Structure 1
Amino acid sequence: MSEEGCQLRELSNLNNLRGSLAIADIRGGGSKESINLKSKEHIRKLQLEFLKYQRDDDGSAIELFEPHPNLEELVVWYYGGSKFPNWMEFQSSSIMLRRLQISECRNLEILPPWANLESLQCLFLTGLDSMSPMGLFNGLEASSTTVAYPNLKELTIRNMKHWEEWVMEISSEDINVMPLLRDLYILNCPVLKSVPHQILSQSVKILFISDCPELIISWLPPLLEELTLDGDAGSLSRSLPFNDNTSLKEGWIRLLICCAIKVGDGIGIISRIPNFEITVRQGYNEGQLHTKIHKPLYFVRTVDLSCVAIETLPNEVGSLIHLRYLDLSKTKLVELPESVCNLRNLQTLKLTSCEKLPRLPEGLRKLVNLRHLELNYTDALECLPKGIEELRCLQTLSMFVMSEKGCQLRELSNLNNLRGSLAIADIRGGGSKESINLKSKEHIRTLGLQFVKEDYKGERDDSKNLRTFFVWGLFSGLEASSITVAYPNLKELIINGQKHWEEWVMETSSEDINLMPLLQRLDIYECPILKSLPHQILSQLVRILFIVNCPELTISCLPPLLEELIFDGDAGSPFSDNTSLKVMRIQYPPHSTLPQGLS
């Protein structure tokens, strides 16, 4: 809505509108007849967004937006009145409303009597700072109903910063409250003390509590399957009131915590839950993990601390003898306690991107059930501990670091279950083909070999030989060969960091050799003096060309079917007319003008 542009009354004759309609910057004015929303039977979702700074006439303005009974979802933002109009009671027997979201209505004191809505399945309330404790159950006392919110399945209460009591005052316990409620989310209600016991019904399967430090919950729904505690979840952050209920044997309990926690009397129950997971949420930014491992948590199977800024693990982690999965990826760990080696049932250990971790525990060989050891991007890792060969169940070993101090290359010999990718770093002389036995590892699909980088001293300059090797190396033997197709199935070619590569030459006596006929992507990075490419490389099928920091490179003709062209930094002069081009991206150009040929 705007005083300068289109007026609200112009919606009147648009009776074919269907699907979703959002009306923004609502203010007073107009009439019910001029808007005529009630006649628009095909609108299924209506969003009403008032001016954020509430106006005195919001109460009269919302009167204008009564929808057709076919409406399925209503969203209201920033409404400034203390109560909603009568039409929002949805008393029509034909009403189809399924979802209601009321957000940031700071002055709203009470909700309409929605407890009688039989069609309502999802209710989302956030930022209702003035709502009374009885607001959610308005009209229930005077109603003749025996079931409140009969089909509600999801309830979210969020950012109720002044909501201290959540009250349900009814004289009869015969009223069944939210009998089908499945998901209950309570987030950022800092002074909320309790939840009506009727809410924690038999049907609740997912309970999510976040940043409610004063909340006290003395019992959990008996059929609960997923429990998430984020931040300070009040009493649940200190004690979990599990009861001895056989339904938990089939349940899946997931705890998301970032504070110390212990289980109450239900120790035996935890031991029978097949999947019990503790996760510290991303964003936990202290240097040490202060969570103490209490005895009742010894039965946890999964611990996920990925992306947590911890430097050490407590020794108590070794007490989790039933642990199957431990994810420490992207942490700031500088060491792993030796007690980790007590986790005899551990099957997965993830250390990806632990960039400050120099070594692994010496007793790692004790983890005889370990199947997956992920070490990608652990750049500080100096060696693997001796005895890796004893991990006969190992299927994933993403990096093997050779070292005279640690594990020797020959220990790879008996790890015949390895599969997927294997990178061997810091390779130097020693060993033999038989001792490594890579040829027998039929399930390895990607093999990376990284040799020790020699540090040249003095004035020695191998740049000339290096350039010659790179220039001719790619097409070595092609001249003397009888083949007619070179690299017949190559689809992607990446050339990176050839700092002394000035000419890329392909000298053959015959033009009949078909070079890389299926090449689809060509990436050339950081070749600062490279001047040209063989014209045979830019084949008919090349779809993507990516050039990064090649300031001297000149390309006179682009592949005719090129679809994506990316320049990063100074990419030389690689542009010409190309009608098939769909995407062109220029990143961090060093020049103030666009490449020649771009109009």
Structure 2
Amino acid sequence: MDVEKWNMYALLKHFELLEWELDNVPNLSLETLDLDDCELDGVPPAIAEIEYYAFRDVQAVSFNNNPEMRKADILGKLEDLQAINMWGCGLTAIPNCWTNLHKLQVLGLGNMPELTSFSPLRKLTNVTWLDLGWCGLTSLPVEVTHLTKLAVLALGGNEGIEIDDSICCLWNLQKLALNACGLKHVPPPVFSLIKLTHLHLDDNHLVTLGQEIVQLKELEELSVTGNSNLCFPKLLSQCDSVQRVVIDETINLANVSHSLRNKLTMANGASLKRDNDEK
């Protein structure tokens, strides 16, 4: 759709105060332009007029599911932006002018397999929530390691991604998603992320989690659905911080200790205790 048809008045119909419900980003209430699923090929230039003529700050934008979107440079002019969500768009590079977005906290760039240039991330050091899932990544972009305030990092769906020691730079990381990455084992550097509270490893090919899991002394939730051959390490039951382990019916519970069973939760919400009693 021709972005020129989106004048300021058309945009204002999609502009409102919204509550952004995101992990580790509490109470984020932002003036948001929501143009999801609008068949756009670029960000409408009139977005800049909202601040100058409508006297309202554009604090967040959502352009999810606009696969033809290639142009987003104009967002670099909106210095009050705190959140950008662009799942399923067609960017090939993060625009260089986004380095002006010093207030940016939330950046969702998932499902962009053509995205290959990440250079501006080096300057976006206030970002605490980043989604690069389903982007065809084979390794963690080096630019991401500059985001030392990151609390949430989603890398799911990057089949074959290699996680090396560079991820250790993210020492404030609390939630990490590595679901559907084709993993046969948990990458050893993950065990160095000692502030992790949530780890998502669903839909991989894991056989074991490794005894090193006990190094994650603040881990509260572990999700491992879709790993049908997974066996839990005995030491996991001794991890007092772990409150919840999300599983599905494919997991073999034959050798799971009683103490660990009390922490298991079925992904479909079924009562594990009742199922066990019936057996």
Structure 2 CA distance for partners of 1:441 and 1:352, relative to 1, 3 Å: same
Aligned to 1:32: none
Partners of 1:205 and 1:387 in 2: how far apart? Answer: 42
Partners of 2:196 and 2:142 in 1: how far apart? Answer: 20
Q: Which has the larger radius of gyration?
A: 1
SS in 2 for 1:206: strand
Task: Tell me, yes or no, if the aligned pair for 1:260 and 1:290 is still in contact at 8 Å.
Answer: yes
CA-to-aligned-CA distance 1:173-213 (integer Å, 9 cap, x gap): xxxx84993526xxxxxxxxxxxxxxxxxxx7416494238
SS in 2 for 1:316: helix
Partners of 2:240 and 2:71 in 1: how far apart? Answer: 45
1:532-543 to 2 correspondences below 5 Å = none
Superposition CA RMSD, Å: 4.4
**1:410 is aligned to 2:235:** yes
Partners of 2:253 and 2:260 in 1: how far apart? Answer: 20
Task: Tell me, yes or no, if the aligned pair for 1:309 and 1:332 is still in contact at 8 Å.
Answer: yes
Task: Judging by fraction of residues, say which structure has more helix.
Answer: 2
Structure 2 CA distance for partners of 1:394 and 1:278, relative to 1, 3 Å: same
Partners of 1:329 and 1:336 in 2: how far apart? Answer: 12
Aligned to 2:76: 240
How far residue 373 of structure 1 moved from its aligned partner, in angstroms, is: 0.9
**1:292 is aligned to 2:119:** yes
Q: 388, 391, 399: which one pairs with 2:216?
A: 391
Aligned to 1:340: 167
How far residue 312 of structure 1 moved from its aligned partner, in angstroms, is: 2.7
Q: Percent identity?
A: 18
SS in 1 for 2:83: strand
**1:369 is aligned to 2:205:** no
Aligned to 1:181: 12
SS in 2 for 1:240: helix
Aligned to 1:596: none
Partners of 1:295 and 1:306 in 2: how far apart? Answer: 19
SS in 2 for 1:410: helix
How far residue 391 of structure 1 moved from its aligned partner, in angstroms, is: 1.2
**1:277 is aligned to 2:102:** no
Q: 178, 197, 216: which one pairs with 1:351?
A: 178
Query: Taking CA–CA contacts closer than 8 Å with sequence separation of 6 or more, which of the two structures ends up with the larger relative contact order?
Result: 2
SS in 1 for 2:140: coil
How far residue 225 of structure 1 moved from its aligned partner, in angstroms, is: 2.9
Aligned to 2:264: 444
Task: Tell me, yes or no, if the aligned pair for 2:11 and 2:33 is still in contact at 8 Å.
Answer: no
Unmatched 5+ stretches in structure 2 = 16-30, 268-273
Partners of 2:134 and 2:6 in 1: how far apart? Answer: 36
SS in 2 for 1:387: helix
Task: Tell me, yes or no, if the aligned pair for 1:342 and 1:366 is still in contact at 8 Å.
Answer: no
Partners of 1:166 and 1:418 in 2: how far apart? Answer: 48
Structure 2 CA distance for partners of 1:414 and 1:207, relative to 1, 3 Å: closer
CA-to-aligned-CA distance 1:567-594 (integer Å, 9 cap, x gap): xxxxxxxxxxxxxxxxxxxxxxxxxxxx
Letter in 2 for 1:418: Q
Aligned to 1:211: 41
Partners of 2:6 and 2:235 in 1: how far apart? Answer: 66
**1:304 is aligned to 2:131:** yes
Partners of 2:197 and 2:236 in 1: how far apart? Answer: 16
Task: Tell me, yes or no, if the aligned pair for 1:206 and 1:224 is still in contact at 8 Å.
Answer: yes
Aligned to 1:110: none
Aligned to 2:26: none
SS in 1 for 2:77: coil
Task: Tell me, yes or no, if the aligned pair for 1:226 and 1:252 is still in contact at 8 Å.
Answer: yes
Task: Tell me, yes or no, if the aligned pair for 2:135 and 2:158 is still in contact at 8 Å.
Answer: yes
TM value normalised by structure 1: 0.33
Task: Tell me, yes or no, if the aligned pair for 2:122 and 2:144 is still in contact at 8 Å.
Answer: no
Task: Tell me, yes or no, if the aligned pair for 1:219 and 1:241 is still in contact at 8 Å.
Answer: no
Aligned to 2:61: 227
Partners of 2:94 and 2:218 in 1: how far apart? Answer: 34
How far residue 297 of structure 1 moved from its aligned partner, in angstroms, is: 1.3
How far residue 305 of structure 1 moved from its aligned partner, in angstroms, is: 2.7
Structure 2 CA distance for partners of 1:219 and 1:261, relative to 1, 3 Å: farther
Partners of 1:377 and 1:181 in 2: how far apart? Answer: 41
TM value normalised by structure 2: 0.64
Task: Tell me, yes or no, if the aligned pair for 1:215 and 1:234 is still in contact at 8 Å.
Answer: no
